[in-house]
Amino acid sequence: AQSVTQPDIHITVSEGASLELRCNYSYGATPYLFWYVQSPGQGLQLLLKYFSGDTLVQGIKGFEAEFKRSQSSFNLRKPSVHWSDAAEYFCAVGRFSGGYNKLIFGAGTRLAVHP
């Protein structure tokens, strides 16, 4: 069965520091991979997605992620974190079935940013 693991429940970084959030997936075929962010009281906003092609994908708000098939990983990175990046981040794999994507989410990583 498909699954997504986010090993870090909570991460704290200083503003201006670099960030890497880990995501590992289990999926039999080539996965569709996503990162979403959820700020308090808000819905899930798509940061970036990977379907095929270049394994380094760029997203909004200065985020990028790298798909590594050999490691079944899709880690999210940002070179310099801003205080406004404090939020919860969810990695998801899309299971293509019958013409649409059913998203399977990881448990999320809560990011705190220190000034």
Partner 1 sequence: EPEVTQTPSHQVTQMGQEVILRCVPISNHLYFYWYRQILGQKVEFLVSFYNNEISEKSEIFDDQFSVERPDGSNFTLKIRSTKLEDSAMYFCASSERGPRGEQYFGPGTRLTVT
Note the residues at the interface with partner 1 (CB under 8 A).
32, 36, 41-46, 49, 51, 90, 92, 96-108
Distances (CA, A) of 91 to 25, 32, 52, 77, 114: 9, 11, 17, 12, 23
Residue 84 CB, nearest distance to partner 1 (Å)? 18
CA distance 56 to 90: 18
Residue 62 CB, nearest distance to partner 1 (Å)? 19
Residue 107 CB, nearest distance to partner 1 (Å)? 5
**Please, which residue, 104 or 113, has the CB nearer to partner 1?**
104
**Please, which residue, 36 or 81, has the CB nearer to partner 1?**
36
Q: Which residues contact 22 (CB under 8 A, 6 or more apart)?
A: 6, 7, 8, 73, 75, 109
**Please, which residue, 98 or 115, has the CB nearer to partner 1?**
98
